[in-house]
A and B are shown apart, each in its own frame.
Chain A
Amino acid sequence: MNRKLLMMLTAVVLMIVLAGCGANDKNGNNSSEAGTGDENVTLRVLSTNPLVSEESMQLFMDQNPNIKVTYEYVPSSDYSAKFAALAASNAIPDVIWTQAGYYTDQIKQNLLLDLSEELNGQNYEGDAVWSETFVPALLENSRGTVKKALGERDSYDYGVPFTMTTIAVLYDKSVYEQLGLEEPTSWEQFMSNNEALKAAGYTPLSMHNNWIDWYPRLFWDQYCRADLESNPNAFDEGAMTFSSECVQQGLTSFKELWDKGYLPENGITADLETMQQMFVQGKLAQFLIAPDKLEYIMNNAPDNMSLATYALPGIAGIPSRSLGGSSNVFAVSASSEHPEEAVQLLKFLTSKTHFTGIEALKYSNSGLVNLEVEPELAQFLAGFTNAAAGGFSPDILVPTNITTEINTAFKTDLLPRYLMGRIDANELGEQLQAMYEQAK
């Protein structure tokens, strides 16, 4: 019997030993350490943006020796799972990356700190008012998203935009020259270019799984802009639905691109990587892309390619606006024990100091007014500059991305089915409408 007891004890001891070891490693998670006002503060940061890396954190820590940062990175595709776990356990890091659908959900759940006062204070370098360092349209875009999703409220500043995301078309000039094409200035010209590219054996346009909704959103910005500008609450009030003419028009135009074979046939499931390979191999002619993905292509494109960019013309002929804008947001958790320091880090992330201090940020558009881009870079990025000059389509226009649930259904289920001809535009509209009404 004694021996048996011993065995049991061994088992129990084994469990305890295993449970114990490693526990005395630095546990960045225990919020009980160092009360507020203490000299040394530890901030937790969650990023899914490769541009905000350990290097950025190191630079910040060097400049703010009293603040220690524990940095966590999750791949963007797993952000939702990671964030859900953190939120369910009330352990949201002090500073987090977020994005339209998540962002508004998080505000709704009171998870984010109201930053309106801080935005009226000094910026990181202390030489300007923080809110005034942003390109006005960018900040407007970010506030508009909140307003759209949550309605009128006291503050629209629960996060700050990090970089100004614009999308433009990247192409190989030599292909254009060979086929006698020119950068399109109208939609008709764009379409005839596509036809010529297709006839020459190219896949004219890019599309991939995560960004499958880009084209319809761009089209809606054209077709529905007037209606939604005259009445921004049209969807809320029921004056507009997903079956409204302009929404349907956007969908059918997208389907037309697909049916004509201008989009890659693997576009529904392929990822960005595949598009990059197709482009570098000269199989994809025009790549609708955001600037932070450019550097990679620039560095790896064969020498005989001569790259250039142009802004996509508007399908309805009105001035085109870009998607994106404030699509990367950094925010402070409402439950942060060190809000002051967390805001300090936020200021750093959106500062000139950060953008000039980190090599990887070279190609990204800081969205700051006090930062100039190198001239030769500026010329190459002309397409992006032009796209940004037209202003931004609000992140939430036709509200397919008003909640993560609708956004997921739209991008992974309804839109693919629609393209494959398994449902028509009417059914798509009705299903979206049903989900939209349920969400309200």
Chain B
Amino acid sequence: MAKRKKITNAIIFVVLLCYACLSLYPLIWVILQSFKTETQFLQSIWSLPTSLRLDNYLVAFDKGNLSVYFLNTVRNTAATLIVDLVFITLAGFAFAKMKMKFKTFFFYFILVNLLIPTPIILLPMYLLILDLGIQNTLAAIVFPYFQGFAPLGLILITNYLNSVPNELIESARIDGCNLFQILYKIVVPIAMPILSTLAVLGGMSAWNEFMWALISISDISQYTLSVGISIMRDKTSILGYTPVFAALSVSAIVFVVIYLFAQKTFVKSITAGAVKG
């Protein structure tokens, strides 16, 4: 019995190890390509780079204008996150813990977004931001991104807050805390883990978004990383492919690093929140 269990465990371990390689390999592959020369890359995409060349990164940052795009993307993502987190916390608390007539209606009012295919909104939304006169501003990026992320964010935070005992909030209210204080002093600290989860998920979608950034931004100095990378891909006949890999590595590694740091709270948040229908 014990022996059989050992064998099963060993098999599971090996399977998991293979699967982990499969999970890691594509990212590692991209990073490896970014150190190669163009010729090495073209001759074999499976060979290893011969040295830790940084030329491709220099080309990407210099000729590919990556530094500008990078900063723009950092700014857009940060602003989106602020709106995501503030708005979703407020709304999530209201949905989870407050008396609200027509609660279901308003909840579905937001959730319906999950059913609307994005491409059809692109054109009308573009006309809208022109009417509002906010093209090339942060608002034209932030609110559409928030709109896209809000349903998932709201589902996660509402579930999380549902599992927070009502007594905690009641007792604060009895202590004379007003709504704002309750939110600030009780809800936010409790919700910290889920907020960090939302930050990673929402940040990722803002960081990687491509289509809206491409269509809506008309000022090349405001372009984002994803748009910049696709432009680099288009210009490979001049720049080559390996700088594109350098750009991709930069773009991808940021969230991997953030995840590594956030990982602990990440799991804890969902544990505590326990997503239950």
- A contacts, CB < 8 Å to B: 3-4, 6-7, 11, 14-15, 18-23, 25-29, 44, 48, 50, 53, 70-78, 81-82, 84-86, 88-89, 91, 273, 276-277, 280-281, 292-293, 295-296, 299-300, 302, 360
Contacts and interface: CB of A to CB of B under 8 A. Distances in A.
Interface in B80-127: 83, 86-87, 90, 122-123, 126-127
Contacts of B137: 19-23, 25
Interface in B214-238: 214-216, 218-220, 222, 230-231, 233-238
Nearest to B219: A28
B231 A75 contact: yes
A77 to B, nearest CB: 8
B234 A25 contact: no
A205 B83 CA distance: 53
B196 interface: no
A85 to B, nearest CB: 5
Contacts of B222: 25
Given A29-B218, A75-B234, A280-B42, A18 B122 contact: no
Of A22, A29, A88, A281, which is in contact with the most chain B CB atoms at under 10 Å from its CB?
A: A22
* Interface pairs A-B: 6 shortest CB-CB: A75-B234, A19-B139, A280-B42, A22-B137, A50-B235, A296-B237
A50 B237 contact: yes
10 contacts: A18-B79, A18-B138, A19-B138, A44-B218, A70-B219, A72-B218, A89-B126, A277-B45, A281-B42, A295-B238
B230 to A, nearest CB: 5
Interface residues of B, number: 47
B251 interface: no
A23 B238 contact: no
Interface of B: 38-39, 42-45, 79, 83, 86-87, 90, 122-123, 126-127, 130, 132-139, 142-143, 178-180, 211, 214-216, 218-220, 222, 230-231, 233-238, 240-241
A78 B214 contact: yes
Contact of A27 (B39, B43, B86, B136): B136
Given A50-B234, A50-B238, A88-B126, A18 B42 contact: no
Contact of B86 (A14, A26, A300): A14
Given A70-B220, A72-B220, A293-B237, A82 B215 contact: yes
Contact of A360 (B136, B180, B238): B238
A294 to B, nearest CB: 9
Contact of B214 (A22, A27, A81, A89): A81
B215 A81 contact: yes
A73 B65 CA distance: 13
Contact of A300 (B39, B138, B230): B39
Is the contact region of chain B dominated by helix, strand, or loop, or is it mixed? helix
Contact of A89 (B127, B142, B178, B234): B127
A23 B134 contact: yes
A59 B3 CA distance: 77
A337 B267 CA distance: 57
B218 A7 contact: no
B122 A85 contact: yes
Contacts of B132: 19
A52 to B, nearest CB: 11
A297 B130 CA distance: 43
A18 B83 CA distance: 9
Contact of A3 (B142, B178, B241): B178
A79 to B, nearest CB: 10
A281 B44 contact: yes
A3 B176 CA distance: 13
Nearest to B220: A72
A78 B210 CA distance: 11
B126 A71 contact: no
B230 A75 contact: yes
A362 B108 CA distance: 59
Given A22-B136, A74-B214, A302-B39, A89 B179 contact: no
Given A300-B38, A360-B238, A4 B179 contact: yes
A21 B130 CA distance: 16
Contact of B211 (A26, A81, A88, A292): A81
Contacts of A14: 83, 86
Contact of A7 (B143, B180, B237): B180
Contacts of B178: 3
A262 to B, nearest CB: 23
A53 B44 CA distance: 30
Contacts of B236: 273, 296
Contacts of B241: 273
A4 B181 CA distance: 11
Which residue of A7, A11, A18, A72 has the most chain B CB atoms within 10 A of its CB atom? A18
A76 B136 contact: no
Contacts of B234: 48, 50, 73, 75-77
Given A4-B179, A21-B137, A89-B127, A292 B237 contact: yes
Contacts of B83: 14, 18
B218 A88 contact: no
B99 to A, nearest CB: 14
A273 B143 CA distance: 36
Contacts of A82: 214-215
